[in-house]
Amino acid sequence: MEKKNIFYAQSGGVTAVINASACGLIETAKKNKHHFGKIYAGKDGILGALHENLIDLSKENLKSIRGLRYTPGGAFGSCRYKLKSLEDNKAEYQRLIEVFKAHNIGYFFYNGGNDSQDTAHKVSLISKEMDYPLTCIGIPKTIDNDLAFTDNCPGFGSVAKYVAVSIREAGMDVASMASSSTKVFILEVMGRHTGWIASAAGLASEYAGAPPHLILFPEIFFNEENFLVKVASCVKKYGYCTIVVSEGTKNKNGEFLSEAGLKDAFGHAQLGGVAPVIAQIIKTNLNLKYHWAVADYLQRSARHIASKVDVEQAYALGQAAIQFALKGKTGVMPTIIRTSNKPYRWKIGEAPLEKVANQEKHLPRKYITEDGFHITNACRNYLRPLITGEDYPPYKNGLPDYVKLKNKLVLKKLSKFNKTSSKENKTVTIVDS
């Protein structure tokens, strides 16, 4: 029987370790040459399949593939492109199968968050309908840690480590300056819908009075009055106050704080940035000298301070995807199961794509203190193992020596996907920021 080829694609916002999953997948597939044919990656994610832009991984040397383990970003390009429902846009799904057929692809690995698992699930349905045998396996990835059926998501542990390290360091800076200068410092972190990332910053506070002093979660509506009382009492007690605010923090009307405040010179709402809004509230009401930072992409690309556990799990999940395929599984996603907390132990589990798709795992209320401004010990116990260990990349000229692949495309065999490509600019759905 002719060996079938592999198609792997990255999807949605990239992370510090999504390439480690790619590395685990590619290296494991290469060890099983008897079973698999060529390995292709989608240029810019699933768009690469739609437009038949397939990267030929046989053109890359083994050292570069190895280097993916420590290289942030998405090595083949990712995309924010959500396929519509099967009913609304069956042509897109059919096109995917046509491209897979043209290139003898029998394995589809999709590395992404909720939407991507949903897509992988739908592709698996359409392949059955079109009677084209296709192994469809999802690989979890999201800094937001909001995928169901897995104890945690690769990408999250490294962001978690970054924000905890950053607020500890900046907190020490502010503590030194507070007697005559900055008294309040605000760090804005990602997490539009859930407070997992903001909660991780709380790990830096290992004794009473250690930064961060306050955390603002999307799960808790912002109460300005309570907040200002907390800030004032913190400054009185410790001489300064450090605050971590999630970009998704909302007011009592459910509006993002970041959209409720500042206007530009033309009266347009300023786009993005809840940290300056919080700073302005403190300035106006308490008149304290402040500084603020917005970590934005820095936090999710910070491979230089990645969590070792996160890197290992990302790699293992890529590896597991291939092992699942070898066992003939399809329509599943490998997951992380925590088998022990102290000492931390984990193993690979599996979840059916059908169930994973479009479910969000929120930060449980019991992980947030009763006053709504910090994390509980239950939260610490959950989070701590995920930021454990360092896994430094190699350096050259004082900078991380990340790899850059050749990304050679294979020759196209089909005509252009005109129908969709002409509509594409209109139909692209921006999933989130």
Bridge-based pairing of strands 36-42 and 135-140 is unpaired
User: CA 313 from chain center: how many Å?
Assistant: 14
**Secondary structure (3-state) at 6:** strand
Binding span for a copy of itself by CB under 8 A among 79-87, 106-114, 146-154, 405-413: 79-87
Task: Provide the token pair at 25.
Answer: 């997948």
Binding span for a copy of itself by CB under 8 A among 60-68, 230-238, 260-268, 412-420: 260-268
List the interface residues with a copy of itself, window 13-42 (CB under 8 A).
13-14, 16
User: What residues contact 307, with CB distance under 8 A and at least 6 apart?
Assistant: 157, 158, 160, 161, 386, 387, 388, 389, 390, 391
**DSSP classification of residue 183:** -
Q: In angstroms, what is the minimal distance from the CB of 23 to a copy of itself?
A: 15
Q: In angstroms, what is the minimal distance from the CB of 280 to a copy of itself?
A: 5
User: For 86-188, where are the alpha helices, taking DSSP H only?
Assistant: 90-102, 114-129, 156-177
With respect to a copy of itself, which residue has the nearer C-beta, 294 or 351? 294
* Helices 418-427/90-102 angle, 10° precision: 130
**Secondary structure (3-state) at 255:** coil
List the interface residues with a copy of itself, window 271-290 (CB under 8 A).
271-273, 275-276, 279-280, 283-284, 289
Neighbours of 368 (CB within 10 A): 23
C-alpha pair distances (Å), 390 with each of 12, 156, 305, 332, 386: 26, 14, 7, 30, 11
Residue 189 binding a copy of itself, by CB under 8 A: no
With respect to a copy of itself, which residue has the nearer C-beta, 188 or 219? 188
Member of 296, 329, 410, 427 binding a copy of itself (CB under 8 A): 296
Distance CA 50, CA 415 (A): 11
Residue 65 binding a copy of itself, by CB under 8 A: no
With respect to a copy of itself, which residue has the nearer C-beta, 4 or 161? 161
User: What residues contact 11, with CB distance under 8 A and at least 6 apart?
Assistant: 45, 46, 78, 79, 110, 111, 112, 113, 115, 116, 119, 141
Residue 203 binding a copy of itself, by CB under 8 A: yes
Residue 265 binding a copy of itself, by CB under 8 A: yes
With respect to a copy of itself, which residue has the nearer C-beta, 223 or 280? 280
* Residue bearing tokens 């009382």: 229
Residue 84 binding a copy of itself, by CB under 8 A: no
Residue 303 binding a copy of itself, by CB under 8 A: yes
Member of 181, 341, 421, 422 binding a copy of itself (CB under 8 A): 181
List the interface residues with a copy of itself, window 326-385 (CB under 8 A).
384
Residue 204 binding a copy of itself, by CB under 8 A: yes
Residue 112 binding a copy of itself, by CB under 8 A: no
The DSSP line for 26-77 is HHHHHTTTTTEEEEEEETTTHHHHHTT-EEEGGGS-HHHHHHGGG--S-TT-
Number of residues that bind a copy of itself (CB under 8 A): 86
The DSSP line for 325-340 is HHTT--SEEEEEEEEE
Binding span for a copy of itself by CB under 8 A among 215-223, 294-302, 312-320, 349-357: 294-302
Q: Environment class of residue 342 by beta-carbon count within 10 Å: exposed (0-12), middle (13-18) or buried (19+)?
A: exposed
Member of 80, 101, 193, 362 binding a copy of itself (CB under 8 A): 80
Q: In angstroms, what is the minimal distance from the CB of 260 to a copy of itself?
A: 8
Residue 85 binding a copy of itself, by CB under 8 A: no
With respect to a copy of itself, which residue has the nearer C-beta, 328 or 398? 398
Per-residue interface string for the shown chain with a copy of itself, residues 391-410, x marking contact by CB under 8 A: -x--x-xxxx-x--------
Q: In angstroms, what is the minimal distance from the CB of 37 to a copy of itself?
A: 26
Provide the annotated active-site residues.
Answer: 144
